Amino acid sequence: MGKITLNQVRKSFGEVDVIPGIDLSVEDGEFVVFVGPSGCGKSTLLRLIAGLEDTSGGIISIDGMDATDLPPAKRRLAMVFQSYALYPHMSVRKNIAFPLKMAGMDPAEQEKRVSHAAKILNLGAYLDRRPGQLSGGQRQRVAIGRAIVREPAAFLFDEPLSNLDAALRVSMRQEISELHQTLKTTMIYVTHDQVEAMTMADKIVVLNAGRIEQVGSPMELYRSPANLFVAGFIGSPKMNLIDGAEADKHGATTIGIRPEHIDIGGDGPWEGVVGLSEHLGSDTFLKVNAGTLGTLTVRASGEVMMHHGDSIRMSPQPGKILRFGADGKAMA
Amino acid sequence: MARKASNTRKAVVTIAAWSIGFLIFFPILWIIILGFKSEGDAIKTPLQVLFSDWTLQSYHDVQARSNYGRHFWNSVILSVGSTVIALAIAIPAAWSMAFVPGRRTKDLLMWMLSTKMMPAVGVLVPMYLLFRDFGLLDSRIGLVGVLTLINLPIVVWMLYTYFKEIPGEILEAARMDGASLKSEILYVLTPMAVPGIASTMLLNIILAWNEAFWTLQLTTSQAAPLTQFIASYSSPEGLFYAKLSAASTMAIAPILILGWFSQKQLVRGLTFGAVK
Amino acid sequence: MATAHSRTAARLMLSPAVILLLLWMIVPLGMTLYFSFLRYNLLMPGMETFVGFENYYYFINQPAFWSALSNTLILVLGVLCITVVGGILLALLLDQPFWGQGIVRVLVIAPFFVMPTVSALVWKNMFMNPVNGIFAHIAKSLGLQPFDFLSHAPLASIILIVAWQWLPFATLILLTALQSLDREQQEAAEMDGAGWMQRFVYLTVPHLTRSITVVILIQTIFLLSVFAEILVTTNGGPGTASTNLTYLVYAQSLLNYDVGGGSAGGIIAVILANIVAIFLMRMIGKNLEA
């Protein structure tokens, strides 16, 4: 079981309110991703849940029990750190067994669990090496191994992939997702990378300046962002945000349209001059200077060949324009 | 990438460096040589000394005075004892300052260093009287206490700079893994800091071994370490060059070897991590 | 970045060190302060009377005090000059590529590990002795009159001995600093057309400032209280020619048994050391933060 509930949880460092007050509920077995720009308080929030920081107010409960004042060890949570935080003086085997040893578990049972974890994570061949002799991806797996042997109520991940190179990041992302499918344990995952958030999460929590901007499934956030911040943060390349006369036409202060929702060619209502075209092979991203609309990013198919200076016409796909009011919130 | 220096230049530098190194080392070399000469030969001119016969007589004589062994053991007990006690007090303190720093941590460290600046002579009289009244004069226990206290600031500082380099996340991971504070320090921090703790230990053994104010003031014979033993040669006995040399060699050899062994760490230690 | 629980633990674990050092600072120093206002002679126990600042008056007004003060300063400054300048030159030399670097390093660092009583005795007897010392042998072989260093230039001789002990330390630290010089920065400066001299003045010297500060700080701590070297070589003499403040206080309290006067001297030494310390702490505080 691993249901985590935050009730008006606050954190301030001295005078500064890092987290002014958060309510959130994480269901058992859910994969929840905290995402937001650096300094938004997502790591602090995770550390509050872990018990590595004291809350300044509010209640954290785990499986219905008040855990606000419990020390980290008593919360039945396991954490994977950004730097992996492996014990450099212990072999992989001892690293993974450390939490079991701390719990005073019988050595035979320890050994059983370690080999089980090693099998799941493909670490069998490395059990007697030191962390220093492993690659980044292998270290990451050891860190995960150390977390899973305890069979915790929930896993906490603090930007675990940010030290890996791009290719490894993709495969580790899949491994963690598969692990979640297998274990069906609650996972809370912190990242600043919205791609990780979109691909892994059951539920995304978008944080900004210590506040929750929106909570929802990846597609909900993609289709109907609650406000301009989420609109701008989720999706890559970023959503085009247009204000002024064009927005007025739709009765909004700002309108948003995703690059993939703009068609080019024909006799679309918007026109512009291509500034830059990035050919990725499968897709082509065009930066179009569209006069009063500003610079628009447009996604076209990979076969479209456009060059700097070409004039084009564009039309937004029907029903894909999002409208935002003066307060930045989405309009119905 | 460094370019290849010309061999002539390298040869010139080699000669200069070796000459200066030899000059600086010469006094030590000289006592080592004199220790293996007879008293009669030891006072001759340097060239005559070099070509005279070698003998172990002086070492036998120093052994025969018999108290060398006691002074040697006193030195070992005083330096190792005070260092171990200082480490036991300093490891938790350095843990606190490195991993749970407060606003006052820097000030606290500076204050600790400043106690090191208090001239020993300022408290010589009361320490002497306290030692006299508590019957601690010429006792190892009293001196171990004093040496512990005078080296404590340096031990704390050194450990602090070493601990600072251990990522806090690892200790947090241990906490998440259910380690108590004791296990965290015992099973995670201490093994990771072994190199730092070892060099702190070496440096402080060296400093305590060579400490020559309190050891000279507070001991006479029973607890006297090698500093006192050698100082006794400042009387006319100093004229027995060969014996003095043999005794000196025996007094400095252990620490010289230890020092060579730890010279890299010594720099970091003595500069409180300010120079790496 | 921690919880209330770990902060409490931290305070608990910090307290033994802090309490011990606090006691070490306050108890003996308080006693010294108290004694300094008494007429207190160990040869006349039970005769202690309160005399106000009389001890200070007599301590400062004895001729030996002023010579001890100037000797202390000359000793500290003399050794600092020799070791810093010598250390820089030596470090620059040893930083060049040459054969046997490791061995020479070991030779140069060795004097630092020699206990003060040994080095003082060795220099006194084997080198500076006017009859059998090496210097005397050399002088005689050149047909010169041997010079009695410790009688005729006692303070300079002690400076030489102490400098020999501390030169390795300065050299080693400055050498380490030199080796951490950013080679790319040097090469960039070379590409920019800076000559050897310019690179030394604009890159090397600023880089060394911090280490020189450290050398001065650490050495001053130890040099202010040089004792053993004086005790075994000159006993502060001839007269008071090589008596420093530390030695004077020792002589007053334990040789003359004048605890009151010695304590007053001790307090004066602490005040002087504090003046130097504040000055140094400012300097190092600035340099250590960076």
Range of the domain at C92: 36-289
Q: How much is the pLDDT for B270?
A: 64
**CATH code at position C246:** 1.10.3720.10
Q: What is the CATH number of domain A237-324?
A: 2.40.50.140
- B236 in C contact zone (CB under 8 Å): no
What confidence tens digit (pLDDT) does each residue in A138-164 have?
898 899 999 988 889 999 999 988 888
Answer whether residue C262 is part of any domain: yes
C1 pLDDT exceeds 50? no
Average pLDDT for residues C73-100, to the nearest whole number? 91
CB contact under 8 A, B149 and C21: yes
Query: What homologous superfamily is domain B67-270 in, according to CATH?
Result: MetI-like (1.10.3720.10)
Residue of A12, A48, A54 to mutate, testing the C interface (most C Cβ within 10 Å of its Cβ): A54
Out of C7, C98, C172, closest to residue B14 by CB = C98
Number of domains in chain C: 1
Of residues C180 and A226, more confidence is placed in: A226
State chain C's mean pLDDT as an integer. 83
What confidence tens digit (pLDDT) does each residue in B5-45 have?
578 888 888 999 999 999 999 999 988 888 888 777 777 77
* Domain regions of chain B by residue span: 7-59, 67-270
Answer whether residue C14 is part of any domain: no
Q: How much is the pLDDT for C287?
A: 59
CB contact under 8 A, B173 and A89: no
* Residue B163 CB burial class (10 angstroms; 0-12, 13-18, ≥19): buried
Out of C249, C274, C280, closest to residue B124 by CB = C249
Answer whether residue C18 is part of any domain: no
DSSP state of A318: T
CB contact under 8 A, C228 and B216: yes
Q: What percent of chain A has pLDDT over 70?
A: 100
Q: Give the DSSP H or E segment for A78.
A: strand A77-80
What confidence tens digit (pLDDT) does each residue in B60-119 have?
887 777 577 888 888 999 999 999 999 999 999 998 888 888 778 888 887 887 777 777
Residue with tokens 């989405």: A330
The answer to whether C112 touches C192, Cβ cutoff 8 Å, is no
Distance from CA of C121 to the nearest CA of B (A): 7
Chain B partners within 8 Å of A79 (Cβ)? 172-173, 176
Contacts of A54 (CB under 8 A, 6+ apart): A48, C3, C4
- B165 in A contact zone (CB under 8 Å): no
- B96 in C contact zone (CB under 8 Å): yes
Q: How much is the pLDDT for B80?
A: 93
What confidence tens digit (pLDDT) does each residue in A293-320 have?
889 999 988 887 888 888 889 988 888 8
Distance from CA of C215 to the nearest CA of B (A): 8
Task: Please name the residues between 40 and 79 in chain C that touch chain B, using a CB distance below 8 Å.
Answer: none
Q: A161-199 burial, b for 16+ CB within 10 Å, e for fewer? A: beebeeeebeebbebbeebbeeeebbbbbbbbbbebbbe
C16 pLDDT exceeds 60? yes
Average pLDDT for residues C183-197, to the nearest whole number? 77
Chain A partners within 8 Å of C3 (Cβ)? 51-54, 71
What is the ipTM score, two decimals?
0.82
**Inter-chain Cβ pairs, chain A and chain B, closer than 8 A:** 64
* Domain regions of chain A by residue span: 4-230, 237-324
Bridge partner list, A288: A274, A296
Q: How much is the pLDDT for B24?
A: 92
Distance from CA of C60 to the nearest CA of B (A): 15
Chains contacting A (3 or more CB pairs within 8 Å): B, C
CATH architecture of the domain with range A4-230: 3-Layer(aba) Sandwich (3.40)
CB contact under 8 A, B230 and C118: yes
DSSP state of B53: P
Answer whether residue C10 is part of any domain: no
Could you give the CA distance from residue C68 to residue C240 in angstroms, rounded to a whole number?
Answer: 7
| Residue B1 confidence class, pLDDT cut points 50, 70, 90 | very low
A5 pLDDT exceeds 70? yes
- C8 in A contact zone (CB under 8 Å): no
Task: Please name the residues between 49 and 88 in chain B that touch chain C, using a CB distance below 8 Å.
Answer: none
- A53 in C contact zone (CB under 8 Å): yes
- B116 in C contact zone (CB under 8 Å): yes
- A52 in C contact zone (CB under 8 Å): yes
Q: How much is the pLDDT for B274?
A: 59
Q: How much is the pLDDT for C290?
A: 42
Average pLDDT for residues B154-160, to the nearest whole number? 87
Average pLDDT for residues A206-213, to the nearest whole number? 91
Chains contacting B (3 or more CB pairs within 8 Å): A, C
Using CA coordinates, name the residue in chain A closest to C5.
A71
- Cis before A237? omega within 30: yes
Of residues C10 and A156, more confidence is placed in: A156
Please provide the DSSP assignment of A2-41 as one string.
Answer: --EEEEEEEEEETTEEEEEEEEEEE-TT-EEEEE-STTSS
Distance from CA of A168 to the nearest CA of B (A): 23
What confidence tens digit (pLDDT) does each residue in A64-85 have?
889 888 888 888 899 999 888 8
A229 token code pair:
């911040």
The answer to whether A97 touches A106, Cβ cutoff 8 Å, is no
What confidence tens digit (pLDDT) does each residue in A152-196 have?
999 999 998 888 888 888 888 998 999 999 889 999 999 998 889
| Residue B268 confidence class, pLDDT cut points 50, 70, 90 | low
